[in-house]
Amino acid sequence: MSDTTSVKPEWTDRARLLLVLSRGVPARIRHLAQDLKSLLPHVHAEPKFPKKESVEVLNEVAALAKCQRILYIEARSQIDSYLWISSDISAGPSAKFLLHNIHTMAELSLIGNCLKGTRAILSFDARFEKEPHFALLKRMLVDIFHVPKHHPRSKPFFDHVMSFGITADGRIWVRVYSYPSLEEIGPRFVLQLSRIFNGSFGGEILYSNPDFINPRALRREKRLELAVQSKAKNIQKEKAVKHQLKLRKIKKPDRLGEIFNEEIKNPKAKKLMEQIDQEMDSDE
């Protein structure tokens, strides 16, 4: 008999990913979470997180669920959606993004496809290596979106690519393509970095995006701008009304009366002229 025995591959990276949504998220965010769960077999989902609680409480929730990493989507003002990621609940770091241009698999109806539970090839823009905060984000995104090798729920091959591209304004475009055909599968969304924290959902701020503006502040500025424009229009209307009143008070010369400026002797004609003058005065 041969002494060699078949050894099962080792599952070394046993870190689990906790996926949590806040209460009040729109339907599109729920569908996005379902798409991410189908792409990431190592995800553990929890019930919705109350918005009144501090985000730091998520570290305790993850510890109770035996998860080491967190992906949290927070809804604010029923309009804005923020995505939080934490690479390690004990040491951090963590990052906060504003979500833009969210499109789910069902919404796009793309022709690409992949098997459930397969691993993804993570593709990053070359700019991730040129700036320090992008290099840190790359390490964090790898920790969150990579499927551990030999995970029991995963299949041992790659059949799709998750692409992370950086635009000219510093936003991260996330796309998923089938491999090797490179046909888009979905979902797709855009991440705008807000801050990077030293700890998990808190601690010292390592990086703050100078180009990030709170969307609520943008909407407030837009409302103030519209209010100023509306006030200017009302002032212009009032000026126009006053100008028309002034013009009506000015008596225009009667060119026809100057030509036929003769004394009217007929009493019926006199009466008719008096009625005309009264009507003109009432109009003015």
Higher per-residue confidence, 9 vs 61:
61
Q: Does residue 44 contact residue 36 with C-beta atoms inside 8 Å?
A: no
Give the model's pLDDT for residue 284: 58
pLDDT band at 3 (very low <50, low <70, confident <90, very high): very low
User: Domain limits of the chain?
Assistant: 17-212, 221-283
Alpha carbon separation from 235 to 138, 222, 241, 243, 280 (Å, rounded)? 54, 20, 10, 12, 30
Percentage with pLDDT > 70 across the chain: 90
- Paired tokens of 50: 């109350």
Give the model's pLDDT for residue 80: 94
2 has pLDDT over 50: no
Segment 179-204, tens digit of pLDDT: 989 999 989 999 999 999 999 999 99
pLDDT band at 261 (very low <50, low <70, confident <90, very high): low
Q: What is the mean pLDDT of residues 153-182?
A: 94
Q: What is the mean pLDDT of residues 76-83?
A: 91
154 has pLDDT over 50: yes
Answer CATH for 17-212 from 2.60.40.640, 3.10.180.10, 3.40.50.10480, 3.30.910.20: 3.40.50.10480
31 has pLDDT over 90: yes
Q: What is the mean pLDDT of residues 122-136?
A: 96
Give residues with Cβ within 8 angstroms of 169, minimum separation 6: 211
State the DSSP code for 77: T
Average pLDDT, the chain: 88
